[in-house]
């Protein structure tokens, strides 16, 4: 059993990371390039390493996992290799919640707060520009995350 220690969380917006991995997929209306965004991510991670002496990073996708632009397995590995090359000594893992529940399956009658629709081609995009104030939508992803965290870090005290 791994002793429990303080956990530090670092969150990056999915679209920022997606721009880094798939630079041709979006048009950025600011003076940002994929290099600038990537540097910002690296600088933030380095800041966390310095401030908290962090060595372990867990990368996870954000909901609704099936409906975001496709993140190929090779891209996940490439992102990990890029970070490791820039920051020697880091250990990283990926939390995969790709089977996250579709909100409509929980009895909700519209996407988000009603101002968006799903994309017909789930291999392309689902723009999650809204949110669900419903616990029944988020609970399944939380349960899946806990199961994977227990496995990744050999802990069984999260229940």
pTM (two decimals): 0.42
Instruction: Kindly list the domain boundaries of the chain, sorted by start residue.
Output: 14-153
**Which residues, 6+ apart, have CB-to-CB distance to 149 below 8 Å?**
58, 95, 155, 158
Model pLDDT, residue 67: 43
Whole-number Å distance between alpha carbons of 153 and 149:
6
76 versus 12: the higher-pLDDT residue is 76
What's phi and psi for 133, nearest 5 deg?
-85, 35
The least confident of 3-12, 21-30, 37-46, 52-61 is: 3-12
pLDDT, tens digit, 9 for 90 and up, residues 36-84: 767 777 787 788 778 877 777 776 654 443 344 445 666 666 666 666 6
Half-sphere exposure of 38 (CA within 13 A, CB side): 13
Task: Band the pLDDT of 18: cuts 50, 70, 90.
Answer: low
Q: Identify which of 137, 131, 138, 135 has the alpha carbon closest to the alpha carbon of residue 112.
A: 131
The tokens 């870090």 sit on which residue?
Answer: 153
What is the per-residue pLDDT across 82-131, written as a single tens digit (0 to 9) for each?
666 766 666 666 666 544 445 556 665 555 555 555 555 545 444 444 45
């Amino acid at each position: 059993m791994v002793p429990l220690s303080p956990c530090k969380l670092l969150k990056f917006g999915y679209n920022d990371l997606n721009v880094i991995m798939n630079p041709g997929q979006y048009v950025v209306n600011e003076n940002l390039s994929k290099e600038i965004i990537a540097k910002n991510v690296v600088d933030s991670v380095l800041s966390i390493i310095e401030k908290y002496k962090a060595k372990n990073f867990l990368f996870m996708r954000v909901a609704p996992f099936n409906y975001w632009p496709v993140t190929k397995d090779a891209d996940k590995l490439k992102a990990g290799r890029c970070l490791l090359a820039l920051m020697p000594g880091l250990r990283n893992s990926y939390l995969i919640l790709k089977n996250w529940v579709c909100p409509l399956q929980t009895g909700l009658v519209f996407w988000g707060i009603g101002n968006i629709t799903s994309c017909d081609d789930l291999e392309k995009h689902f723009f999650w520009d809204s949110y669900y104030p419903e616990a029944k939508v988020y609970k399944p992803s939380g349960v899946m995350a806990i199961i994977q965290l227990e496995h990744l870090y050999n802990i069984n005290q999260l229940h």
